[in-house]
Structure 1
């Protein structure tokens, strides 16, 4: 604890642009804050804290003159305890009815209202199932026991929290499980200082909460690039052959477990790629084995050969249209990991352990954390694989090729169900991005509810398939005669089809419907938004940082656009 406190003092003394975090808890958090401050800083989220009064969560959330209201937090961290929610007093049983569900939902509702009123990101810690269970071994058999009632309350709270876009959730039961029940609590410290948890648990909790907070502030990585030998299977396929690599039975089965984990990530929208120093025929033969769970068709890209792995990873990112900072590289070779870190520091690295049974600990890193996937996320890997099969060589020129695609675009005003996807596009899109304005789900929800903004989303499909929601724009309507283009993003997978021109034409049409004759914008230059720079240069931009009026844009003739708003 001393080293953590010292490090926290150093961080507090540094001149930093800190995120404001207000902590409301049902226990004394003085010893917890240094752990959390250090954990956030290590993930690139420097923080400054306001600590609310002990066990006054609801009042702090609802009172407009409270410390919480005055602190204007960016993040509102709320950590209740079921033991403190009984109307009969601390640790007293909750009588009949819905047990803890009602009191806990009151806390949830207060926290969500405060988050909306203050414009804060709510990070709610689901309380752990109470340690004290009077029936002992019999509690699990009792449908009205401590465990059953606590579980019901926790799941009711989780469901309520999920209703509000952008709300983040941690689970204190995970903290307890990580350190073990006996090591999680400090009964003496609870009586002396109202700190029920051990320093070990608070350290684990801080790391988990910091990783959760980071999800809303930094985009999740999109691509996992995998080594083969020692990562997907045991042994070197070039030496033992495809039939000789080890995937079990025995410890080698751990490689199959890892492959199953990768496939679950793929279901959540992560793109899988292969980067192996081997002969292609050997690698494909190994992946074709009937007992392999990961197959060649699951890969969105591959580089198999003898080039350096940093060069291969750079080629993979170019092929997939993502930045290096969207990649996690997994390899068992420490030299390859070191070279990747030295040559491409933007790429996150994960070293697989020598003993494959320990792979779970290796992948328990912030670089692999992801928010709940949208439907668009789930469809992404299949779309990328389909895109690789396309043949553009049959068309005589670009316009002929575009005409063969049967591109269909649908435009609509963003609905609450679009908030997560719109925020995701704003957070992740780099190439076709007007100004790299990063918006959280809470930011998007506020824009959608504002009369001074018009948010539009665009779905696209062509003869190769349905791409889902690929684009979004936001018009600010604060000026009387001009609509300002605050946001303009189009997923890289939809580039090259003229959809961006259809979006601009639609933006100008919507502005006209509001009585505004012009649309203005400011283009910002970033490392990877050259497509946006080229587009807006052709539409009148004199250069980055200068406001301009968008030149009239006609609807491309090779595509159809349907306005779901009927205007």
Structure 2
């Protein structure tokens, strides 16, 4: 177990070194999830690098899939992605189900909204959509099974669309042991590192197949006497019909017929235990294939693709300023059916029925406030000294507020706060923070409405927002920078940068 952890650590460290190097044209990938997907980045980046693909990976704030897909100026839209990766777990799309079920029946409609929004965004952005199919529930839940079936039916036949099934990946990583319940409570990271590593390898394999030039042959490694996996069969179906396909089966199958379902007879049906590398070299020599463009589809849980030789030269379609093409033909897609679905961010947020409940903070709330400040990185004005927070809680001229947020999808609890003080002619915002679960739901605008109302009631003529750029709070800084006036009061962003 120690060796596995060290291997994953080395991969994460190698990703840092890769990022520090100069890159040529990059494959732009945007990640959207109902949970924190940041741990996937280094594993996906390293796997793509090893396939000869340089990547720039952007992660949008979690639990904002629909909002991001509907907003061309959001984090994902601004990145102009070639690839859009979407991961929605039923657990984050609504309240828990009754009688021990994993999800509430209303989650099905929200999941369909996610699918429609993702398909529409990929079509507008001319991007390949990679959907992470949620795993089966343990114990089994018919509602989750129906969600999986709905996704497969909805995505079947969609151009430039891929599906990564998390069920075999989770099973291959230990089933329920692959879940990280403590980290999920702390940071909304549901899986352990090996799961993210396996997901990264699977996505990278799909993208390498699409973007690294023609394939001169495929070796399929069957998993013992079992039939080929759905992922293996699906990858073979996407190959040109004249691509040589070799099936390397278990020796116990010697003398049997090749498996059906390939859509073609295999070029070679190996049923011996000779070393795989030797077999591939003999195949390359006898069929005129190129080692660097051979793909070996292993017997992993989802049919991982590997190149036995070094990556080939970068394809010509990677000329500067051009999008990669490879096997991915950009074909016009029909607009997804959106009848009854929200078509813009404002409409979707209105459909959430967001309820914001605020109350004055007391000294007893100091630990709660300190915790909120410590764990809020994206939408915050920066650090606030603990002695300043303590002083504000007992200062009658200061306003310290805490907010609870809930909507039709769930109760997010205490996840927002603000601190106001007053200077001659100005209402000063010293703290304004919203944690990730509540972002993208209009909470920040409702809070700013309260700031303006309190400033107006106090007779101040303007709002001053004092902030420090932390390197991670660009979302908050951009929000306040966009507005020079709010509810008729001038608004000024007083931005300070750390050395």
TM-score by length of 2: 0.49
Which structure is higher in helix share? 1
RCO higher in structure (CA 8 A, sep ≥6): 2
TM-score by length of 1: 0.44
